[in-house]
Amino acid sequence: MQKILSISGINLGNENREVISHEYKYILITPPKTGSSTIYDALKPYSNITKCKNPRSNGYNPYNYIDEFRHVAPRLSRHGSKHITISEICTELASQGVDISNYMKIGVIRNPFDQMLSFWKWRYKKHEHKLKKTFLEFLKHRLSRDQDSHGNPILNSAYFKVGSRYIMDTYIRFESLNHDYNTLCNKLSLPTCTLRHLNKTSHKHYSTYYTPETRELVNHYFADDIEYFNYTFDQHDT
């Protein structure tokens, strides 16, 4: 019998889904620009639920749709939100009587200094015709608030907490993405593989783009993330 779950009022079936696997018992949480597309692509054959309706949005928003309805709204279904927090998923699953303690909760993390540089490069590449912000301007704008324009938290730690407590069981580090992914696969009894790096941005080492001012902006905003995940600013000359 097909198991149906609902995320934010939308029923989801078992056809080739991501984010949650009921068979392999995992929940995957990925902040933006942490290699999320790469990990989603690899886990897709083993998962049940894909891009969920964003519970932070009200009213019409093209980012609210899921692939389940691609035959109804194919234009909109491409823009489902895959950046859901563990707190939001736990709330939804608990309301349906699902015991999340039986699921491995997996987070994907990345050095915030590298992550912000990649975000700026990706935004510039995607909107080059209209986006002319310098890296400093981009950081001042993005780090002046708690959420981005789609309602996604900016702090990585916000994806992994319920209240003030981290509840994830394990993390995949972007810096050792393939190694950590295959280690996870061994734990879940899934086949290992060489990952396809999707949505990759091309740039030199992140440190070459930073000035003392931009470094301090990121260091201050992501202080908790940097301390908890033991990240540092690694200086490279080239």
Q: Residue 235 domain-assigned?
A: no
Q: Residue 238 domain-assigned?
A: no
Confidence of residue 231 (pLDDT cuts 50, 70, 90): very high
Residues 160-212 pLDDT 10s: 999 999 999 999 999 999 999 999 999 999 999 888 776 666 778 999 999 99
Tell me the pTM.
0.77
Q: Residue 69 domain-assigned?
A: yes
pLDDT at 81: 55
Query: What is the count of structural domains for the chain?
Result: 1
Q: Higher model confidence: residue 78 or residue 160?
A: 160
Q: How far apart are CA 121 and CA 142, in angstroms?
A: 14
- Please give the residue range of the domain that contains residue 100: 5-228
Q: Residue 234 domain-assigned?
A: no
